[in-house]
Structure 1
Amino acid sequence: MRLTHVTTAELDRLEFHAVRSGEHGGVAAQLLDLANRVDAGSEIGRAELFVRAGEQWEIAQEFERACAAYQRAIDDGGSTVIDARALRAGALLHLDEVERAQAQLKRLETEGPHGLSTHIHIAEALYAHDDLEGAERWATAGARGYVGADVTPYVHDLLMELLRIRFRIRTDLGLDEDDLDDWADAD
């Protein structure tokens, strides 16, 4: 049976259930089912549903299934909050498929620019897998695109989160503070 509409409230309910129950795999399967049945005019599109399913598979530590869900989002081509290619690269890192993850990130890097959520995800994924230089490069590139721009409060909060991550990475690398750190301190 086709669905004409999936709402943010429905997604919130499912994801809250996953957190409360620990049934991340079951919720991932439900999200995949929704993605396969939703019509194009839905508030939440297929690609975002595939991404949400992948995130639940990752929480369940089912990284191969997460990669498959992210690939479905990529193939769908619809809009997502975090670029599905970045999410897939993070899942590939969990599978120790570093070369494939790096190739995915290299393609993303050449395409630029990307939203702050994507930069945050990539910086955190690379940081978690001990690629501090790569994490710093992604965090810096993301921040440079937004520092000094007139942004919404939500985007400002994301920028500040990215700058905090970047500061932590740079501290671990033993780098001195720079103009982006100064901007964050002044804000």
Structure 2
Amino acid sequence: MRLTRVTTAELDRLEFHAVRSGEHAKVAAQLLELANQVDAGSEISRAELFVRAGEQWEFTQEYERACAAYQRAIDDGAATVVDARALRAGALLHLDEIGQAYAEFERLEADEPSSLQTYLHVAESLYAHDDLAGAERWATEGARLFLDQVGDPYVDDLLQELLRIRFRIRADLGLAEDALDRCTDTD
């Protein structure tokens, strides 16, 4: 097997192709193949390639394949933009594997995720599956953890996205506005 290096530009090219062509399954297979061939010096880690493959499988609603790709990312152990456990739990919800999904969320929560994207993904997943209380808890925790990092444009955008979904969730729950709601940019 020939080891290869994968760049962000190559990954972007593949993902843009999937969006333009709708060939998500084909791109997922290519990403898995790359993950199996990537070397340690690659700009994109093996785990991140597994995660991206799983996301492509989700676009085709092949949640079992997505779960398998996410599990490979978890087993690899390298950091990913969104924690692979959160992604796997979301895919498990689509498969109606509720107990397994919530066990994954609990393990993730116990480790206190370090990325704002992970909190956003979990809040969105739980909201989409009608667990408003859980979604509000994750959104609130993520907002509190990252509110002090305001000033970084990337963090600012993600934080506003998290605050907006939190606001919608709280409105659906009939909760009164609080200090975090007032941090939401409504422009």
TM-score normalised by the shorter chain: which range applies?
over 0.9
User: What is the one-letter code of the residue matched to 2:51?
Assistant: V
- The answer as to whether partners of 1:35 and 1:47 remain within 8 angstroms in 2 is yes
CA change 1:182–1:19 in 2 (3 A) is same
- The answer as to whether partners of 2:5 and 2:38 remain within 8 angstroms in 1 is yes
CA separation in 2, counterparts of 1:71 and 1:167? 32
1:59 aligned onto 2:64: no
- The answer as to whether partners of 1:2 and 1:39 remain within 8 angstroms in 2 is no
User: What is the one-letter code of the residue matched to 1:93?
Assistant: L
User: What is the one-letter code of the residue matched to 1:146?
Assistant: F
2:91 corresponding residue in structure 1:
91
2:24 corresponding residue in structure 1:
24
1:176 aligned onto 2:180: no
1:146 corresponding residue in structure 2:
146
Deviation per CA, 1:125-144: give whole Å up to 9, x if none: 00000000000000000000
CA separation in 2, counterparts of 1:115 and 1:60? 26
> RMSD between aligned alpha carbons?
1.4
TM-score by length of 2: 0.96
TM-score by length of 1: 0.96
1:125 corresponding residue in structure 2:
125
| Structure 1 unpaired stretches of 5+ | none
Helix, strand or coil at the partner of 2:11: helix
Q: How many residues align?
A: 187
| Structure 2 unpaired stretches of 5+ | none
Greater CA deviation, 20-29 or 30-39?
20-29
CA change 1:128–1:9 in 2 (3 A) is same
